[in-house]
Amino acid sequence: MNTTPPSETIEISDGVYAYVQPDGSWFLNNTGFIVGRKGVISVDTCATERRTRSYLESIAAVTHLPVRTLVNTHHHADHTYGNFLLPGATVVGHEQTRAEVMAFGRQVNRGVWNDVEWGEFEPAPPFLTYTTGITLWADELRCDVRHAGVPAHTTNDSLIHLPERSVLFAGDLLFPGGTPFVLMGSLSGAIEVLEKVVRPLGARTIVSGHGPVGGPEVIDDMLDYLRFVEDLARRAREAGLTPLEAAREACPGRFADLLDAERIVGNLHRAYAELDGATPGARIDTAAAYRDMVAYNGGRPLTSHA
């Protein structure tokens, strides 16, 4: 039974909304939208047909105007799967986001997570792409869409910054209340992006890809966790431990209550690969990492309430 609280639409600035899906665990992502005089800009969609339709109903409760532009923060299914439900929108994303959405195709239950009802699906990758960034406008409100520059959560993370409002849609570069996840990106790159790209923007209001709306403090919390993993990986690798063994022997301390704790195993797989010389974002054996994450979870499929 799904016991997660209902989703919430929060006006974080005049005409700018965060759509928050508690509790922010696997596939319960946040989206957002910006209302102009002639249309709406949406930041991401949701993991399933049902949840995306609920998101669109929340937009309709605020404005009768159509979504004219949809920007994807990265390629993962929980941020792009519902793109097809906005057939009238220009879908914007990094060029690698388009490539990855096309390569991934339809989400299916592969035994990693409990069964999820994904619903109907049609591939709808971004068809307006950029390499470094693009600027969108909601009337006179500037929305800077910028690639993170280096692999972090994925190879194709983007941020949407509203400088006049000091608002940032950070995608999965940040996970307040949840365990960060860099298996498909880079541990070192995530630290670099937070220190050199995200923090210098100085945003006072940050909508992360999962978890509650926050402020600059979420950056420090994420960096603390990533450095914890970085140190753990170095010591465990020297001791000859596997990523799974290292995770089982780790003392998470103040990170013990973060959601989806099994992600530490995937993060260690990425950290080990980088210690062995893999470049940030290089493809590694993610299937092995997921098998280890399931093992860390007592051999049970990982839990998603999507």
Please report, for the chain, the start and end positions of each structural domain, with discontinuous segments joined by +: 8-218
CA angle 305, 100, 288 (to 5 degrees): 65
CB 20 within 8 A of CB 7: yes
Please list, in sequence order, all residues whose beta carbon lies within 8 angstroms of the beta carbon of residue 31, skipping any fewer than 6 positions away: 18, 19, 42, 43, 44, 45, 46, 55, 79
Model pLDDT, residue 220: 98
Model pLDDT, residue 248: 98
| CATH homologous superfamily of 8-218 | Ribonuclease Z/Hydroxyacylglutathione hydrolase-like (3.60.15.10)
Model pLDDT, residue 206: 99
If you average pLDDT over residues 173-190, what whole number do you get?
98
Model pLDDT, residue 1: 53
Query: d(Cα 243, Cα 220) in Å, to the nearest integer?
Result: 25
- What's the residue count for the chain? 306
Residue 133 confidence (pLDDT) above 70: yes
Model pLDDT, residue 166: 98
Model pLDDT, residue 109: 75
Please list, in sequence order, all residues whose beta carbon lies within 8 angstroms of the beta carbon of residue 198, skipping any fewer than 6 positions away: 159, 168, 170, 173, 174, 219
If you average pLDDT over residues 285-297, what whole number do you get?
97
| Phi, psi dihedral angles at 206 (to 5 degrees) | -125, 125
pLDDT digits (tens, 9 = 90+) for 38-95: 999 999 999 999 999 999 999 999 999 999 999 999 999 999 999 999 999 999 999 9
Query: d(Cα 33, Cα 69) in Å, to the nearest integer?
Result: 10
Model pLDDT, residue 111: 86
Model pLDDT, residue 106: 87
pLDDT digits (tens, 9 = 90+) for 93-132: 999 999 999 999 888 877 899 999 999 999 999 999 999 9
- Residue 4 binned pLDDT confidence (cut-offs 50, 70, 90): confident
If you average pLDDT over residues 153-157, what whole number do you get?
98
Model pLDDT, residue 249: 97
**What single letter denotes the amino acid at residue 67?**
V
In this structure, the dihedral spanned by the alpha carbons of residues 95, 96, 102 and 107, taken in order and rounded to 10 degrees, is -130
pLDDT digits (tens, 9 = 90+) for 219-273: 999 999 999 999 999 999 999 999 999 999 999 999 999 999 999 999 999 999 9
Model pLDDT, residue 2: 60
